[in-house]
A and B are shown apart, each in its own frame.
Chain A
Amino acid sequence: MTDLHEQLKAIERTRVAPPDLWDDISTRRPETRVPADAGPSRRVVFIAIILLGVAVVFVVLGRPFLGSSRQAPLGVVQKLPNCHALEYPCPPDLPPIRARAPLVLIGVRLEPAPAGASPAISANQAENSAYERGGWGWKGFTLPGSREQAILAILPRFKLPTPVGKPQRYQPDTLVWAIRYSDVCLPQRPTRCPWNAVVIVVGSSGKVLEGGAEGTPSPVTTPRSGGSG
């Protein structure tokens, strides 16, 4: 109906012409309160304040959970430990490297990290996180390996923690540090060496995703003790 413009002109055909209201306008004291069209309306400002308040409450209430047994979101940098301050000595450290080709560690397939990929946490922070949380700092793992090295790689897919009864969810292409410990001895009975232990740490947060050991160890009678370097 393109002629609605034209049809609406008919509303100008009134029996009475529009009155001259200028005198009334000039002397009138307006009673209506209307905001100017400059700047945001009161409603927008009100909604913005409410949203800001909700965000602040969420952050303040959420903070205590970050260090507790609740799992923090993968993208949030966790409070990272310093392994030198822990009871168990750090193993000697090799410089961190980037994975140049696909590799499989403790059964987990990793892809090379893209050239420009840069994790939020450093290799050193990831090593500390792995040391404390990935099993290395657990009571049973008191025997450091001969060396430790962080490898930056992409974990193509891993299963996210999901509440019971919910469908499984997967996180694709996550930048991770794979912390590899060589020649680890585990205090089994009898103690066995050497194992290669690996702990996979999320590069954006320091969260430990996976840890384990692989190798063909054999029993040893006298396990090594303390840091060797």
Chain B
Amino acid sequence: MKEGFRQAMAWLHTWAGLIFGWLLFAIFLTGTLAYFKDEISHWMQPEIPARSVTSEASLTVAQHYLQQHAAGASRWLIDLPDAREPGLSVRWQQTPTKRGERGQFTEKLLDPQTGAEVQGRETTGGEFFYRFHFQLQMPYPWGRWLSTIAAMVMFVALISGIITHKKIFKDFFTFRPRKGQRSWLDGHNAVGVLVLPFHLMITYSSLVIFMSMVMPASILASYNGDVRAFFDDVFPQSATPELSGKPATLAPMAPLLDRAREQWSGGNVGRLTVNNPGDANASVVLVRDSADRVVHDFGSAVTFNGVTGQLLGSTPAQSLPRAIAGSFYGLHMGRFADPVLRWLYFICGLAGTAMIGTGLVIWLGKRQLKHVKSGVMPFELRLVEVLNIASMSGLMIAVAAFFWANRVLPVAMAGRADWEVNSFFIVWGLSVLHAMFRRGRAAWVEQLALAALLFGAVPLLNAVTTPYHLGMTLARGDWAMAGFDLTCLGSGVFFAWAAWKMQRAGQVETVARQRVQPIGLEQEAR
């Protein structure tokens, strides 16, 4: 390969990585957290108990509740609990007063064991990270566009990074710690190369997920600009049978679960939709749980008559192009992953975050070297430094603040969920200010230490503010709750270590500078 080409790629990698690095760091970190979004939501709504009941039992409970409270509704939606989402959610839509209008939805959470209503505290939970990951808290569709552009830049940075890296195989196992810049570059290369399959998959699949938004040309051309017609073709609506007007009692729905499983040769039901309950033409649509298979199927469902139990129809098998798109979607979301694989996803996500973070540190470190002696940094380097600190350690503090707000804000507070999100952004903003007013290394050390304190104290905070402390959750085997506490504790220890490392590296640097100075003075004296 020509050196000129490689240099051009190195230039591209450097600048594409810098400009989008801060945003990509936040996208990667929140995306990584979103792999545990159900567990995070569970921790943030501790009032909702985790029960181990069968789908049949929870469906019977839901049906009983809905027949008592929403007999006249035009539609019921039931989301069955699973190992990760403990709540049994029922929603119903009132019959619209005028034709063509949408009826109003009511949502309730039930305890799948007793059937009693459960009131969880108001929170966005893990959904916040999931949404931020691709919407960036911006109005539709700007956030999606920005995150998609970031994904494209990420893809460019990955490819140009592979081309720039001369010795992928020779340095495959190389990591040399305690060597300053060398170590940072080794670390950047190691997490980049070793976890490359994940990086490529996650970046490419994110473009596939938004393909109809990013590259609509083929759709617009084939459908004469009518995008809705395309979506109607891709996601056919199941035709709802007309109201017969004759009342009839809905048969127990629990046996339908087994019949749906037969249809899918052993898949699980995630959601049920009951159209026109209480009518002779009631229909029950059972939608397959997306956690069943690696290849995501957009709405694989079977429909039964709700009164007679007759099979009315099922969605056709996936076509190959849809299966390919579905497999990218499924791989990106990782909903199929069991706890062990989910942790591996999480580790890979952290590796991606670390790759971006080390890249940003290297960019600055290389350029800072020139200014070590004078101790004065030009404005642009100082800007990068402030953004580095705020986008990395500041973001960590903001995440911790989000969790703290969930426990500290009063449960009955109005607009509570919004204030949790607000505290995330307020703290993130404060971290920018702090980074501006403190010298680089001091800002790093202080912010990392604060992150260590906040994360490390989460189990304590949880024990003080709720009855669900570690001793109890561990004994009860509530692994989502206990795992959250322990992971926060682990992150706290990690940040404490990072702060200590940073502090010590700073001391070594000052000692080195002091040693350099006398020689300089002597030379001047001569």
* Chain B associates with chain A: no
A-to-B contact residues, CB < 8 Å: none
